């Protein structure tokens, strides 16, 4: 697929992934904490999850395809030998960290959050971490057009 088209899909997906998490952080999370109402987060997650997970999937697929177009194939990952490869490898590490947070939220925190508002601080930590990582991935991605780091 054409690199420009891949980049457009990557940017649209980044807008949905990062934007959706920022909205959760600045609008829904403070309300849930103030009212100690876990349903506010659970309802948002339910609506956002299909679109959020699709955008994350598209970010990974388009990101890897673009990395290949830059010559950063799987054999070069995690060597931190060239500037573009360093950005790609850093983004992959952040991606694995995101996956770890998502699994932990899905299997450890969310099931208990349904009945126990005392899990709200732990959920807050997960949400703020995934949002920060998403913003970092966006910033790291922006380095590629300047030659990487």
Residues interacting with ligand HEM, by CB under 6 A?
7, 10-11, 14, 17-18, 59-60, 63-64, 66-67, 70, 88, 91-92, 95, 134, 137-138, 141-142, 144-145
How far apart (Å, rounded) are the C-alpha atoms in residues 122 and 110?
A: 10
Among residues 134, 132, 105, the alpha carbon closest in space to that of 38 is found at 105
Nearer to ligand HEM, 40 or 56 (CB): 56
The whole-angstrom separation of Cα 120 and Cα 92 is: 28
Which residue number, 96 or 107, has a Cβ lying nearer to ligand HEM?
Answer: 96
Min CB(133)–ligand HEM separation in Å: 7
C-beta closer to ligand HEM: residue 109 or 137 = 137
CB of 115 vs ligand HEM, minimal distance in Å:
31
Q: Is the CB of 42 or the CB of 65 nearer to ligand HEM? A: 65
**24 vs 32, beta carbon nearer ligand HEM:** 24
Tokens found for residue 126? 């997960």
Any idea what DSSP says for residue 8? Answer: H
Residues in the chain: 149
Q: Is 137 exposed, middle or buried (0-12, 13-18, 19+ CB in 10 A)?
A: buried
Residue among 61, 69, 78 nearest 12 (CA): 61
């Amino acid at each position: 697929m054409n690199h420009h088209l891949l980049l457009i899909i990557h940017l649209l997906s980044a807008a949905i992934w990062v934007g959706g998490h920022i909205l959760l952080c600045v609008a829904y999370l403070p309300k849930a904490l103030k009212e100690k109402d876990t349903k506010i987060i659970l309802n948002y997650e339910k609506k956002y999850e299909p679109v959020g997970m699709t955008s994350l999937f598209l970010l990974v697929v388009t990101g890897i395809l673009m990395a290949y177009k830059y010559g950063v194939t799987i054999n070069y990952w995690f060597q931190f030998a060239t500037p573009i490869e360093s950005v790609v490898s850093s983004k992959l590490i952040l991606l694995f960290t995101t996956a770890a947070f998502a699994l932990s939220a899905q299997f450890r925190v969310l099931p208990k959050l349904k009945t126990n508002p005392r899990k709200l601080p732990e959920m807050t930590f997960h949400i703020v971490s995934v949002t920060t990582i998403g913003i970092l991935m966006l910033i790291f991605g922006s380095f590629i057009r300047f030659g990487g780091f």
